[in-house]
Amino acid sequence: MTDEELMAAVCKGDQSAYQTIVKQHLTSISHYAYRILGNQKDTEDISQEVFLRLWINAAKWKSEQAKLSTWLHRIAHNLCVDYLRKHGRVQTRDNFEDEIGQIESNNNNGDKNGKLQLLKQAIGKLPENQRSALTLCHYQGFSNREAAVIMNISVKALESAIARAKRNLKNQLSGFDEFTDNTKMINDSDQQQEP
């Protein structure tokens, strides 16, 4: 069944169609929420709320305006932003550097897992709009145009947020030579994204 057929069935109360949509999109929505929020409990709450809103507001989705995955990610994005505004999450540069030192000592002097953990920590410290833009385009695979729709911003504003995110990551990780290649990889992959 197509997304349109599934959503029409959900509008009529078809639980089987709803379960199919959840199975198709749960992993992507959960990964997105986790990259924005950084913890499993809140990720589960946000994911559950996304699919509750899908069930309640199925008739509001317009296939001619956005793909179903884009619409669901927009709901997830808005819920994550609301959550972060309500609960706040501010990390100082000093705390970040303490965490980096702790991670490095626990991960055998910067092995591959340690580098990945450092990068995740750095991404987690980005402002929400930069983290969202980077996550949607580089990790979730959305085009710049689709990511801009999800975030309810212009493509130019999205591209600016991605550029600022890269600069911030480069600055945060500048003391670690092993990240020179990783930040170059992020820059190179962004050139492949469609505008």
Q: Pick from 35, 51, 3, 61: which is nearest to 136 by CA?
A: 35
pLDDT at 97: 43
Domains, the chain, ordered by start: 3-87 (1.10.1740.10), 93-192 (1.10.10.10)
- Chain mean position to CA 58: 23
Q: Residue 1: helix, strand or coil by DSSP?
A: coil
Q: For the segment 58-109, what is each residue's pLDDT rounded down to a tens digit?
A: 999 999 999 999 999 999 999 999 998 888 754 333 344 444 444 444 444 4
CA distance linking residue 11 with residue 56, whole number of Å: 9
Q: For the segment 129-148, what is each residue's pLDDT rounded down to a tens digit?
A: 999 999 999 889 999 999 99
- Chain mean position to CA 123: 10
pLDDT at 90: 41
DSSP state of 140: S
When computed from its CA atoms, the radius of gyration of the chain, rounded to whole angstroms, is 18
Residues ≥6 apart with Cβ < 8 Å to 113: 107
The predicted model scores a pTM of 0.70
Contact yes or no for 31/76 (Cβ under 8 A): no
